[in-house]
Every structure is written in C-alpha cells, then in structure tokens.
Structure 1
Amino acid sequence: MKRSTGARLCAIAAVSALSLAFVTGCSSDSDEKSTDAKDSKGSASASAAASDVKALTSAELEKLLLAKGDVKGYTFDSGDDTLPKSKSAVKTDKAACDPLAWATAGLAPGDTDANASNSLTEDKTSSATASPDAADIEDAFDVSLTFVGLSSYDGDGAEKAMKTVSDGVTACASGYGLKADGEDSKVTKVASEKGTGGGDEAIAFAETVDMDGEGTATFHAEAIRTGNTIATFYTVSFAALAKGGEMDVNPAAVVTAQVAKLK
C-alpha cells in the first residue's frame, strides 16, 4: 500500500413473518388464492422493474464525480497517475478479498465495466502565511488524499456487489496478501466499522496494513450504494503514512457531497 492501495439486520422481520403466518392461518382458501395471486404479481412486477435498470456509462459517471466547487477546501485530480487503471493490476491471494482491494483502489467492487474515479486533496495552501516557518511547512504536508470511485450496474448488480464487499469483510478478517501495480503489501486485519453512511446501503471497514516491517497503519474505506450506483472512498494521510499509525477517516463533507450528486 505504498501508493493508492488501499447490513442491516431487522428484528421486525421476525415479527412480520409471525404476523403473516397468523393471518394466513386464519384466512379462507379463497383468501389464500387471492393473496398468492397478488403477491405473485407484485413479485413479478418488482423483479421486472429491477431487471430493467441499466447501468450508467463510464462517461456518465465521470460527470457525477465531485469536481471543483463541489466541496470547499479541496483540490481535484483525475487520479490517473496514482490509481491502478484496471482490476488486472490489483491481485489478492484470496478471491473473497478482491472486492475490498478493488474498492480501496477506486475500482468497481462488482462485475461491471462502468467505472470512473478521481482523488481529492485538502488544499492548505490558501491558509499558508506569506513567510512560512518550519511549523507551517510541516503542517502544509499534513494533508489527506481521498480516492473516490464510482461504478454502476445493470439490474440488481449493485446490491450483489455490496454483498461481496460485506462478505469480504467477514472472510478477510485475518487479512490477505495484495499486489497492486507490481508492489506487494500485506493486510493483516480487516474489521467493519461505522462510516459516514448515506444512500440506500453503506458498508465501512478498516484495514490494518504491514508497513514493510516498520509497524502497521490502519486505513479506512467505505462503499455506499445509491440505486444502482456505488461510490467507494479511501483516504491516505501523508503525515500518518510517514510515521505509521491511524489514517484519517474519510472526510464526511466529501462523502456526503458525492452521495448527494448520485441522487
């Protein structure tokens, strides 16, 4: 990770199921047939609606990425020089961990070719003094870079992609090996955590990474689904990277602004 790399369960479901069984047991045969017919039509209609959903194109996703003026205090870059250009450049030693590695590299965590990414950096130059001292210079380099990836899916592909991320957090709890753009890294631990959230579904997780024997650093990532589009976020703090330790969490202002553009 020297460069870029990096569900809700409802108790009401049990109550609802119990209520449904009670109502069904008390209904007549004709009621059952009527209800079954309505449920069948409703399910068929919902399935048809889901299957009709088409993914946005990469060009359309590019227009939805955060840009200058969307978030105060940040500069923007296409990310072409820092992010892997394709999934083939990001490999793990556990297939279940692939979605996590892709999400932290600004790539689509699921099966789609519709993908766009950029990066945002805190702009501290505007607050720098005319004659900076050593402390000012050190502070100027204490910035964070946030990688943002957008991906879009046909049908229920986005929901399936989010499930692979959720499953990956569990399956890869003890870590995984990673090679990105020819550079090897070792993720020693993966754990779910609370992120900024938003959208229709959100999954946040932290990855602890072995820094070439110089201790470890913990990075934070988040995937948020809005309809059939998923936004991923991954932040690297240069100061923390140099010293090892805890990275900054993904800036709430950035996450919130990006999710808002997808609605």
Structure 2
Amino acid sequence: MKRSSGARLCSMAAVGALSLALVTGCSSDSGEGSKKKDATDSKGSASAPASDAKALTSAELEKLLLAKGDVKGYRFDSGVDTLPTSKSAVKTDKAACDPLAWATAGLAPGDTGANASNSVTEDKTSAATASPDEADIEDAFDVNLTFVGLSSYDGDGAVKAVKAVSDGVAACASGYGLKADGEDSKVTKVVSEKGTGGGDEAVAFAEDVDMDGEGTATFHTEVIRKGNTVATFYTVNFAAFGSGGDMDPVPAAVVTAQLGKLG
C-alpha cells in the first residue's frame, strides 16, 4: 500500500523521542477505517485499599515499572522523552475528560503527585536495519508502542481515580478537544470496552481521534487499580497509524507483567 510522507514520518518516529502530541497529531492519506470492539467495562473484584493506605513515592514507583527482561520480545525506554511530564501540558475542553487524557499520557488519572511512566515497544529494531529498502523499513515498524503509567494514592484515592476515569468515559462519549504540548487534537467518540482486566478493578475504553479530516483512528487505553496503585496503558501501532483505522489493543503480556510487579 502506498503511504504518505506523514505516515512514513510516523513510522520512523518509533525509534526516536515521541511526545503524545506528535502521536495524536500525525495524519495519513488513507480514508476512514475505524472499527469498534464490543463496548463492555472490564472490572475486577473492586476491593478497596485500607483507609489508612499510604501512597508510594515516585521513586518507589519507578522501581516497579517494567524493565529489561520482564517481558520477552519488548524493549523499555524512559518516559522522560516520550511523554508529558506535567498535567499542565495536557488540557481538554471538558473537565470530566481530563482523567482520560491523563491516562493516555502516562500521567496520574487522579489527585496525587506520585507518578512514574515509561514506554514499552515490540523489539523489531534488528529487522528495521536489515534492509535499506523503505518499504521493508516501514513494515519493520509495524510495532506496538505502549505508554505505561503508575500512580499511587493515600487512602481511597486510587478508587476515586478509577471512578473518575469510568465517569469520564460516560461523560465524554461524544468526544472532547485535546491540547497536548501546544498541539490540538479532537477526540470524536469514547466508548467503554473489554480490556485485559486484572487487579482489583479495571476500566478499558477506546477513543476515536480525528486525523486532520482524513478519517479517524481508534486508540485503546486500560486503567487498572491494584491496591492503592493505578496502572495505565495506552497503545499506538505505527503501521495502523499510517493506514488509519483501529490501533491494536494494549498487549495482554505487558499488562499482566506490569500487574505482577505491583505485588
């Protein structure tokens, strides 16, 4: 399939520093192709942490993030160069939608200063450098890049954070405007869906994003609470990005491995 220069740039961006704003701002020359999955919330046992639970520090959360050797076939990069470092860099035009935007940016969806994030990428680097042919390079970047965020809360803060996300899915069903690091994007639709699940409670949702008038792309996010820690996962597939349509879901292996590190 012939791809636009914008699609090629999106593919090549997989090996460099990539902000959320760039991810949601790239477009393609292909038409619309958004497909929807069954819209059902994925919820666990919903057991709440003790009322006197204390939040982990950001430094402690950093040690709990997935790292080399935790998931076979994936590589791990610091979120410093790929994700916004502050909620002030991610703004929506509906306050109820803020937790959704924060979750997709690896930021805490609730009220806490304890946050850590990184990115997890399918390791196809060797295939990408095996041939100088542009088509082969683009095919090699048919990879999933998943932004992972961890946040921790005092008392029932984690429960409130997950509820804010769940409420946001309903309140923002018709979409919302998003500005990340100065770049504007438009989410046109939000629906709940069945995710990997796990933990004590989980919410999964899909968002349709307008691709600068060239159709839409659908992105998937999962927010899972384990005790008083909340893990967020947001996945981009660069090949799908180039052709429009539906991104791959968050890899279950990544979710399972990250929840396992939370104890």
The TM-score with structure 1 as length reference comes to 0.80
1:236 aligns with 2:261: no
Q: For the structure 1 residues 171 and 137, does the alpha-carbon distance in structure 2 shift closer, same or farther, using more than 3 Å as the test?
A: same
The equivalences for 1:101-250 within 5 A come to: 101-126=101-126, 136-250=136-250
Quick one: which amino acid aligns to residue 114 of structure 1?
A: A
Q: Alpha-carbon deviation of 1:125?
A: 3.0
1:82 shift after superposition: 1.7
Distance in 2 (CA, whole Å) between partners of 1:78 and 1:190 is 28
Contact 2:90 2:102 in 1 (8 A): yes
Q: Is the 8 Å Cα contact of residues 236 and 248 (structure 1) preserved in structure 2?
A: yes
Taking the aligned partners of 1:9 and 1:135, their CA distance within structure 2 comes to 41
Q: Distance in 1 between matches of 2:239 and 2:43?
A: 38
Distance of 2:170 and 2:71 partners within structure 1: 33
Contact 2:149–2:233, Cα closer than 8 Å, also in 1: yes
Distance 2:184 2:156 in 1: 34
Secondary structure, counterpart of 2:147 in structure 1? strand
AA aligned to 1:73 is G
What secondary structure, in the 3-state scheme, does the structure 1 residue paired with 2:22 have? Answer: coil
Query: Does the 8 A contact of 1:4 with 1:105 survive in 2?
Result: no
Report the counterpart of residue 38 of structure 2 in structure 1.
none
Correspondence for 2:61 = 61
Asked if structure 1 preserves the Cα contact closer than 8 Å seen for 2:42 and 2:203, the reply is no
Give the structure 2 partner of residue 31 of structure 1. none
Indicate if the aligned counterparts of 1:5 and 1:104 stay in contact, CA closer than 8 A.
Answer: no
Q: Is the 8 A contact 1:206 1:221 kept in 2?
A: yes
Structure 1 residue 242 displacement after superposition: 1.6
Task: State how 1:10-25 maps to structure 2 within 5 Å.
Answer: none
Q: Secondary structure at the match of 2:79?
A: coil
| 1:260 alignment counterpart | 260
In structure 1, how many angstroms separate the alpha carbons of the residues matched to 2:43 and 2:106? 28
Question: Relative CO higher for 1 or 2, CA cutoff 8 Å, sep ≥ 6?
Answer: 2
Q: Report if aligned partners of 2:202, 2:223 keep a CA contact under 8 Å in 1.
A: yes
State the distance in 1 between where 2:50 and 2:248 align.
37
Bigger Rg, which one: 1
Query: Hey, what's the Cα distance between the residues in 2 that align with 1:219 and 1:51?
Result: 34
CA distance in 2, matches of 1:58, 1:205: 26
Matches of 2:203 and 2:104, distance apart in 1: 13
In structure 1, C-alpha distance between the alignment counterparts of 2:220 and 2:174, rounded to whole Å: 16
Amino acid at match of 2:145: L
Distance in 2 between residues matched to 1:105 and 1:129, nearest whole Å: 29
| Cα deviation, residue 131, structure 1 | 5.3
Amino acid in structure 1 at the alignment position of 2:243: K
Tell me if 1:3 matches 2:3: no
User: Which is helix-richer, 1 or 2?
Assistant: 1
Aligned CA distance change for structure 1 residues 99 and 5 (closer, same or farther; 3 Å): farther
Give the conservation status (yes or no) of the 8 Å contact 1:110–1:164: yes
3-state DSSP of counterpart to 2:231: strand
**Structure 2 partner of 1:52:** 52
Change beyond 3 A, Cα 1:5–1:201: farther
- Please give the alpha-carbon distance, in whole angstroms, between the structure 2 residues aligned to 1:129 and 1:152: 39
Q: Shift in Å at residue 213 of structure 1?
A: 0.8
Q: Does 1:85 align with 2:85?
A: yes
SS in 1 for 2:83: coil
Superposed CA RMSD: 2.3
Q: How has the CA–CA distance of structure 1 residues 239 and 59 changed in structure 2, closer, same or farther, with 3 Å as cutoff? A: same
Residue 138 of structure 1, CA deviation: 3.0
Structure 1 unaligned runs (5+)? 11-46
Query: Residue 42 of structure 2 contacts residue 193 of structure 2 at CA under 8 Å; is this kept in 1?
Result: no
Residue type of the alignment partner of 1:203: V
CA–CA distance in structure 2, aligned partners of residues 134 and 91 of structure 1: 36
Extract unaligned runs of 5+ from structure 2: 1-19, 26-40
State how many pairs are aligned. 227
CA distance in 1, matches of 2:130, 2:138: 15
